[in-house]
Structure 1
Amino acid sequence: MTIKQKIDLALEERRKLYMHYNDKDRIVEPAYLFSVEKASYMVAYCYFRKEWRTFRISRIEICRVLDESSERPITPWAQVDLSSLNRRNIKLIRSVTSKLTATQYANSTGDISKTSTHVKATNESTTYTSPNYIKRDSNYPKTLESIKHDGPIICRSPLEERVYRSIIRDKEVEFFQVEPLKIPYEFENKTRMYIPDALIKYKSGDTYIIEVKLSDEIHTPVNQAKFRAAEKYAKEKGYNFSIKGIYTSASGYSLLGNMDGMKKTKPQRLKLLILLMKSRHLMAHNSQTKNQTSKLQITHGYG
């Protein structure tokens, strides 16, 4: 599949893209694909820059469609700043909301020439929180090796690397696999595929499906749908489902439980906070859930 085809797929299914662009690894949410003379461009929200950007397709070295739905509000095409390009020759090929051809768009480029508004991220769409020490950089994706894992372990971010290293160090882990499962889930009236980050088998016999996430991302609608499907799948297989990530106060969570209360089979040396919860409780925002049969536990890391 070519890079253009991957972008087209991401637009059609409203999914995020991972790409290597100008020597940087980036996660983007594509909104528009257009051409200027013989060059093709993509307008997308860039999590690395934290703003809407225009990317030249020929400069994208690596591109992969992620199993994460786009979540940001789409900025109107007429408000996209294309002042550095030849507006007369701009032809919209495709948008995130519909399949448009250059012919269908032939008479609408005039709107672009009337605006100098640069597209910025809006306050109402700040759902992504990225502490400085887990920002994506040119060192990612990277690989790790372990006798507990068959083949190289792909880390797409410092957060994933920290979690995978903690799993490797945990003496109670027998083996684990990275992204071995595809779990169907329903979102926006469409069946999609969710790929959890890891499957861990402990020496105790327990098996865990693991998702690595920032705590502020847990309550987004698309992730809620994924986690409900993962919990159902885990229950059918006799597994457990848990989320490992970084706690942020903006998420609205209060700290529940403590590290001493964790099962001995859990990793104890994570230098980040561990979020362990079942998906049917993800929509509950108060600490009363700790008194229910299935408890929401946020366990303290140290260091």
Structure 2
Amino acid sequence: MYNEHFGLRELPFGITPDTSFFFPHSSHQEALNTLLVAARTGEGFMKVVGEVGTGKTMLCRKFLDALDREHFVTAYIPNPYLGPNTLLLAVAEELGIANPEGVNQHLLLKLITKSLLDSHVAGRRVVLCLDEAQAMPIETLEALRLLTNLETERRKLLQVVLFGQPELDAKLDSPAIRQLKQRITFSYRLRPLHLCDVEFYLAHRLTVAGYRGPRLFRVDAVKRLFRGSGGVPRLVNVLAHKSLMAAFGEGVREIAGEHVRLAIADTEAAAARPSLRFRLPRLLATIAGMAALATAAVVWGYWS
């Protein structure tokens, strides 16, 4: 797309969580440090809450990558909207327990307990991370609590980290699972990026993607991008990507506030005036036209 135009190896502002682009913003780094300390001290339940797009999944994957495989066994369930028994099956599968299908809940729990004990004997802690935990039914959360009852005389056999949107806190206030809430020993809330953070965030991702040129996003562009995104990393990525497309469409190598304005106008989740919405598609049409002209020039050169 615009990689060659800006001297990039890869797209810098994708929305798929890629830990190579992890930005050690104070909020995310503090959360990561908290999780690592809690995991190494053997805490039973941990919780990270953040609004949509604040980087919970990225943090979760970075946390799992940071755990030493020699001393930790990790399990990850990205969609825990499951019934209690199905959750146990998912945990068993993540722990590598062979053929748990078809067994009743009692036998399944015994298989999981044996796996956890084997890991304990081998000197390895087991950490289970559940993303989008606000979607878990109350009954499944209670089954998860019962699963963490498994322990030796000195420590828990299973550590659980819940990553979820603020609705998770509301769900944990339910009297039916008050015992689970009492067991959450470490909790952290992710914050959006500040204006100065957005400046460094853009530069960080561009550098990881291979950019080595002069400043790409002008000061007015950064300010407008911050206002349009509210500092939410996912929205920053969306707007930055569209701004690069707009600049590429004009054939320029610097992102100005006007390019960000066009990106905001084309993004429903960002604040924008409807009257601007028609302009980015026009720029995309310009990009397509430029590509067609370039192809025609190559063909003409070949036959000349």
> With structure 1 as the length reference, what TM-score do the two structures score?
0.29
Which structure shows the bigger proportion of residues in helix conformation? 2
- In our comparison, the structure showing a higher alpha carbon Rg is 2
